[in-house]
């Protein structure tokens, strides 16, 4: 999570939403990203989306079995959907997002029994009170 926090700090310094994400596979960091929506002028350039794309490239496959995604802020609906599509089995996040969170705050997409994939979720890691 500390690497994700460093990426979030870099995002903040670049006048982006301060969100960072890291993907770990078998104890090794295979992706690290920060929000780049403003810089890329791309509404999908969230830290999670970029990290998932990097991880898929690093493993040369779309299924991210055996991976854990660490992210500083609760994923939004778009990012939660990408997590489900990538079949990431475990997501660890820091702060809740009461306005757009799709993991515990507004929706529980990663645990929805109607979907074809569910994740283990660990919330509140290193979140400030």
Is residue 96 situated within a structural domain?
yes
Query: Model pTM greater than 0.85?
Result: yes
Active site amino acids: 48
Is residue 37 situated within a structural domain?
yes
Is residue 111 situated within a structural domain?
yes
Q: How confident is the model at residue 8 (pLDDT cuts 50, 70, 90)?
A: very high
Domain that holds residue 110: 2-122
User: Which two three-digit tokens encode residue 61?
Assistant: 């496959």
pLDDT of 29:
98
Here the CATH number for the domain that contains residue 19 is 3.40.140.10
CB-based contacts of 17, cutoff 8 Å, min separation 6? 11, 35, 37
Evaluate whether 83 touches 69 at the Cβ level (below 8 Å): yes
Is residue 84 situated within a structural domain?
yes
Among 2, 4, 3, 24, residue whose Cα is nearest residue 73: 4
How many domains, the chain? 1
pLDDT tens-place string over residues 90-103: 999 999 999 999 99
């Amino acid at each position: 999570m500390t690497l994700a926090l460093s990426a979030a700090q870099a995002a903040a310094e670049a006048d982006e939403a301060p969100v960072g994400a890291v993907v770990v596979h078998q104890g090794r960091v295979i992706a690290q990203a920060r929000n780049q929506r403003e810089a890329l002028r791309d509404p999908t350039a969230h830290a999670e989306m970029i990290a998932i794309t990097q991880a898929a490239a690093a493993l040369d496959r779309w299924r991210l079995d055996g991976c854990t995604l660490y992210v500083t802020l609760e994923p939004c609906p778009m990012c939660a959907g990408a997590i489900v599509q990538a079949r990431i089995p475990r997501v660890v996040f820091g702060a809740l997002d009461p306005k757009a969170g799709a993991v515990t705050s507004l929706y529980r997409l990663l645990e929805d029994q109607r979907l074809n994939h569910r994740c283990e979720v660990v919330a509140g890691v290193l979140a400030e009170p």
